[in-house]
């Protein structure tokens, strides 16, 4: 068996991007913030209500589900793609923290009776399931967690799928925080999500071509201190240097955080 | 897809520690299910508990990972010389060229459930010895596995409920295909906890006795725990006749309901067909199907329809959950190992506890084990959120 110690370079086009975070309303509005043309104003994350989700499901779902849908829909729309047609990679560091807290609280109480809805919302793939129900997507969804490396793991899985299976893949990486006492041991200061459609082919919607490989070294930082704090404190915001580079429209190579001493290098070439 | 070799594999569940015990249990129709006396759980149900998990000692430098789930992971990794096989693979490929893909549904959540009973009365804080990233976080079991072998390649937890550790095979295969890694540790570990026991009970999906897959009077699942792993490598030219190959995987989503499968099993059909296409096989090439077969009314009815739609009555099928219980996020990897046992022994295990087959399900369901040449097998794993995965394994000969 021939083995190679050289990490391959995986290439794809990014055809649609979404971004929702504290003071980051959507991708088009965030471009001027990420290019330092508009001052960054941190605010509580505003998550649009997903009309696409049937009313019953909407009532049963929490912030993470709404964030997932909003992030996925904005990216698919920006890529000019029907969301139901896209394979999906969903990555989150912690799932629905409030729901988890309520379950643990109930199980530590005298009456351990759980609500069935709480229980089915407790699975890590709950938001991905709501995505599939809301969009009608019968496509495969990979549902991942890699703690602080969740953005990198999601990006790696998505580009791998694009190259291995030659199909467009929607990456959704989202995080919301825990209430106390879990917040104390795992503080995630704001709801945050990044979405992107990675495609094997260039289209009229293509923003950039990316070439992705594993590497070592230090992760690229953001010049704005407040945005850099987001990057360091929210796992899905580890992808912000990629979005900042795309916003700036330069040909450059940036480095994203991944596991321990591993990093992901992304060489970016603008399409427009 | 190009076949991948399961160069080593192992399984630990309530029917055995390692492959020898597991094989003997399957051949002797042994069920590991027993009345629930786990922790302080006061539910009238049966569970499948792995013996000896509590007495596993974890390495000192990994003490932050100490919880039931990671003890079970370590117990499983130490069976069948699996950890030796990983170390040989490390010598061959290097620590950075072996990926880690571990499926889990609840990871170490039991640790958090217990910690919530011991909150500081003044501050409300969790106890000082609670370690979030090593136990609670979904990634913890994959991170533990990675650090147990000092691996430095890609690592991830796949957590799509009960399809988790089937889908790891597909994720690993893709990453090997594009050349990011040369080999992969794939597996699944899920351990008993209050969330799943009380949770499935709240949905009225736990059986009062040992579960009876595909029985006309089936009344739900028996929750269990398991750890199972396989080492995937590219298939060399010179295979032994009893070598086990991963031949194809198919994944789909139901897009239907959070906790009920599509009633006609449409998502399940899509996954099974995609697996056949991926392996380049036809329905008639499959000799045995290890069904998801949880023993809930809705799962078995929907899966039965899906199997009938693709395979008719021609393919022998059974669920082994009457023996092992439903190990949730570990079920896919456990049943992949059972498929490998089936292939190596030309033995198709019977469905235990099933008295009378549901007359509305029209498939060749095995109430008794069968010995016959087995060359290609399929394993089904479906989960909450409408996530489906079918895998096909074969023998090299």
Q: What is the pLDDT of residues B120-148, one digit of tens each?
A: 999 999 999 999 999 999 999 999 999 99
A219 in contact with chain B, both atoms CB, cutoff 8 A: no
pLDDT at B235 over 80: yes
B93 in contact with chain A, both atoms CB, cutoff 8 A: yes
Chains A–B, number of C-beta pairs less than 8 Å apart: 228
A95 in contact with chain B, both atoms CB, cutoff 8 A: yes
Q: Which residues of A touch B243 (CB under 8 A)?
A: none
Q: Which residues of A touch B105 (CB under 8 A)?
A: 123-124
A185 in contact with chain B, both atoms CB, cutoff 8 A: yes
Taking 3-state DSSP, the helix, strand and coil percentages for chain A, each rounded to the nearest 5, stand at: 40, 20, 40
Q: CB-side exposure of A101: number of CA atoms within 13 Å?
A: 19
- Summary count for chain A: helices (H), strands (E): 10, 8
B182 in contact with chain A, both atoms CB, cutoff 8 A: yes
CB nearest to A164's CB, from B174, B254, B255:
B174
| pLDDT value at residue B309 | 97
Instruction: Give the residue on B whose Cα is nearest the Cα of A140.
Output: B252
CB nearest to A107's CB, from B198, B254, B258:
B198
Measured at the CA of B322, the angle between CA B317 and CA B325, to 5 degrees, comes to 115
Distance CA A128, CA A108 (A): 28
- Confidence label for B56 from pLDDT (cuts 50, 70 and 90): very high
Measured at the CA of B129, the angle between CA B124 and CA B130, to 5 degrees, comes to 65
Q: What is the mean pLDDT of chain B?
A: 97
Q: Which residues of B touch A7 (CB under 8 A)?
A: 179-180
Q: Which residues of B touch A103 (CB under 8 A)?
A: 195, 199
**pLDDT, tens only, B374-385:** 999 999 999 999
Tokens standing for residue A164: 């291995």
Q: What are phi and psi of B34, to 5 degrees?
A: -150, 165
- To test the contact with chain B by mutation, choose from A11, A57, A90, A160 the residue with the greatest count of B C-beta atoms within 10 A, namely A160
Q: Report which of A216, A106, A188, A156 is spatially closest to residue B133, judged by C-alpha positions.
A: A188
- To test the contact with chain B by mutation, choose from A144, A155, A156 the residue with the greatest count of B C-beta atoms within 10 A, namely A144
Q: Sort A51 into a burial class: Cβ within 10 Å, 0-12 / 13-18 / 19+.
A: exposed
Q: Which residues of B touch A104 (CB under 8 A)?
A: 109, 112-113, 116, 195
Contact indicator for B370, B348 with CB cutoff of 8 Å: yes
pLDDT at B157 over 50: yes
Q: Report which of B168, B7, B201 is spatially closest to residue B85, judged by C-alpha positions.
A: B7
CB nearest to A103's CB, from B42, B195, B270:
B195
- Cβ contact, residue pair A137, B253, below 8 Å: yes
B132 in contact with chain A, both atoms CB, cutoff 8 A: yes
| pLDDT value at residue A50 | 83
The mean pLDDT value for B39-54 works out to 97
- Cβ contact, residue pair A146, B155, below 8 Å: yes
Percent of chain B with pLDDT over 90: 99
Q: For residue A160, give the H/E element and its range.
A: helix A150-165
- Cβ contact, residue pair B253, A132, below 8 Å: yes
| pLDDT value at residue B358 | 98
Q: Report which of A191, A230, A209 is spatially closest to residue A71, judged by C-alpha positions.
A: A191
- Cβ contact, residue pair A1, B236, below 8 Å: yes
The minimum CA-CA distance between B99 and chain A, rounded to whole Å, is 12
Distance CA B304, CA B261 (A): 12
- To test the contact with chain A by mutation, choose from B115, B168, B195 the residue with the greatest count of A C-beta atoms within 10 A, namely B195
Which parts of chain A register pLDDT below 50? 1-3
Contact indicator for B141, B73 with CB cutoff of 8 Å: yes
Q: Is B292 one of the annotated active-site residues of the chain?
A: yes
The minimum CA-CA distance between A1 and chain B, rounded to whole Å, is 6
Q: Is B257 one of the annotated active-site residues of the chain?
A: no
- Cβ contact, residue pair A3, B258, below 8 Å: no
The mean pLDDT value for B1-23 works out to 98
Q: Which residues of A touch B384 (CB under 8 A)?
A: 120, 123, 125-126, 129
Q: Which residues of B touch A110 (CB under 8 A)?
A: none
A186 in contact with chain B, both atoms CB, cutoff 8 A: yes
CB neighbourhood size of B124 (10 A): 10
Higher pLDDT, A56 or B271: B271
> pTM surpassing 0.80?
yes
Peptide bond into A79 cis (omega under 30): no
Q: Which residues of B touch A121 (CB under 8 A)?
A: 258
- Cβ contact, residue pair B152, A186, below 8 Å: no
Distance CA B333, CA B73 (A): 12
- Cβ contact, residue pair A156, B154, below 8 Å: yes
- Among residues B131, B136, B326, B376, the one annotated as catalytic is B326
**pLDDT, tens only, B62-80:** 999 999 999 999 999 999 9
- Cβ contact, residue pair A107, B180, below 8 Å: no
- Confidence label for B98 from pLDDT (cuts 50, 70 and 90): very high
CB nearest to A138's CB, from B143, B234, B255:
B255
- Confidence label for B397 from pLDDT (cuts 50, 70 and 90): confident
The minimum CA-CA distance between A147 and chain B, rounded to whole Å, is 6
Distance CA B92, CA B107 (A): 30
B155 in contact with chain A, both atoms CB, cutoff 8 A: yes
| pLDDT value at residue A5 | 57
- To test the contact with chain A by mutation, choose from B45, B65, B130, B139 the residue with the greatest count of A C-beta atoms within 10 A, namely B139
**pLDDT, tens only, A221-239:** 999 999 999 999 999 999 9
A236 in contact with chain B, both atoms CB, cutoff 8 A: no
| pLDDT value at residue A2 | 44
Contact indicator for B65, B151 with CB cutoff of 8 Å: no
CB nearest to B258's CB, from A94, A120, A142:
A120
Helix locations, B130-242, DSSP H: 140-148, 164-177, 194-202
A59 in contact with chain B, both atoms CB, cutoff 8 A: no
pLDDT at B299 over 60: yes
């Amino acid at each position: 068996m021939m083995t190679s110690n050289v990490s391959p370079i995986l290439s794809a086009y990014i055809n649609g991007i979404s971004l929702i975070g504290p003071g980051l309303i959507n991708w088009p509005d965030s471009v001027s913030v990420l290019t330092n043309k508009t001052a960054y104003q941190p605010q509580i994350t505003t998550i649009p209500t997903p009309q696409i989700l049937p009313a019953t499901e909407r009532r049963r779902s929490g912030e993470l589900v709404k964030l997932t849908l909003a992030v996925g829909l904005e990216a698919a729309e920006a890529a000019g793609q029907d969301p139901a047609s896209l394979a999906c990679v969903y990555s989150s560091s912690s799932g629905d923290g409030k729901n988890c807290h309520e379950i643990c609280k109930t199980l530590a109480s005298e009456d351990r009776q759980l609500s069935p809805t709480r229980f089915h919302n407790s699975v890590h793939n709950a938001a991905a399931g709501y995505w599939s129900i809301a969009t009608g997507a019968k496509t495969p969804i990979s549902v991942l967690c890699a703690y602080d490396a969740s953005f990198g793991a999601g990006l790696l899985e998505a580009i791998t799928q694009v190259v291995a299976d030659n199909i467009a893949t929607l990456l959704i990486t989202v995080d919301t925080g825990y209430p106390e006492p879990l917040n104390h041991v795992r503080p995630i200061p704001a709801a945050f999500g990044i979405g992107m459609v990675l495609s094997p082919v260039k289209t009229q919607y293509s923003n950039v071509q990316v070439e992705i490989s594993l590497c070592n070294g230090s992760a690229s930082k953001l010049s704005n201190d407040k945005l850099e704090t987001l990057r360091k404190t929210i796992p899905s915001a580890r992808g912000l240097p990629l979005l900042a580079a795309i916003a700036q429209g330069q040909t450059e190579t940036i480095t994203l955080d991944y596991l321990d001493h591993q990093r992901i290098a992304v060489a970016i070439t603008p399409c427009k | 897809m190009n076949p991948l070799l399961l160069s080593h594999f192992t399984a630990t569940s309530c029917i055995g520690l390692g492959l020898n015990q597991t094989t003997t249990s399957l051949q002797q129709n042994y069920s590991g299910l027993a009345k629930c006396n786990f922790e302080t759980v006061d539910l009238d149900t049966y569970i499948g508990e792995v013996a000896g998990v509590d007495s596993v000692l974890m390495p000192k430098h990994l003490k932050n990972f100490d919880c039931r789930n990671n003890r079970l992971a370590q117990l499983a990794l130490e069976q069948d010389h699996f950890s030796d096989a990983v170390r040989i693979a490390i010598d061959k490929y290097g620590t950075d060229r072996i990926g880690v893909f571990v499926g889990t549904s609840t990871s170490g959540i039991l640790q958090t459930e217990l910690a919530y009973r011991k909150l500081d009365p003044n501050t409300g804080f969790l106890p000082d010895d609670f370690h979030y990233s090593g136990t609670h976080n979904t990634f913890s079991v994959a991170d533990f596995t990675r650090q147990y072998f000092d691996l430095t390649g890609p690592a991830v937890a796949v957590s799509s409920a009960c399809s988790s550790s089937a889908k790891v095979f597909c994720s690993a295969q893709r990453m090997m295909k594009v050349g990011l890694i040369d080999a992969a540790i794939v597996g699944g570990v899920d351990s008993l906890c209050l969330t799943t026991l009380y949770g499935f009970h709240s949905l009225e999906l736990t059986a009062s006795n040992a579960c009876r897959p595909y029985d006309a009077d089936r009344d739900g699942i028996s929750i269990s725990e398991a750890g199972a792993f396989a080492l995937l490598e590219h298939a060399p030219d010179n295979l032994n006749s009893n070598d086990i190959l991963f031949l194809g995987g198919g994944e789909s989503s139901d897009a239907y309901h959070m906790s009920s499968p599509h009633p006609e099993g449409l998502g399940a059909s899509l996954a099974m067909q995609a697996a056949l296409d991926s392996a380049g096989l036809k329905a008639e090439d499959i000799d045995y199907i290890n069904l998801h077969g949880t023993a809930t009314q809705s799962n078995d009815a929907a899966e039965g329809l899906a199997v009938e739609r693709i395979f008719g009555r021609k393919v022998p099928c059974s669920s082994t959950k009457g023996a092992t219980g439903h190990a949730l996020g570990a079920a896919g990897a456990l049943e992949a190992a059972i498929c490998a046992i089936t292939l190596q022994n030309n033995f198709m295990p019977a469905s235990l506890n099933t008295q009378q087959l549901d007359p509305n399900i029209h498939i060749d369901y095995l109430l008794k084990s069968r010995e016959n040449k087995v060359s290609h097998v399929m394993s089904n794993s479906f989960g909450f959120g409408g996530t489906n995965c079918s895998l096909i394994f074969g023998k090299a000969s």
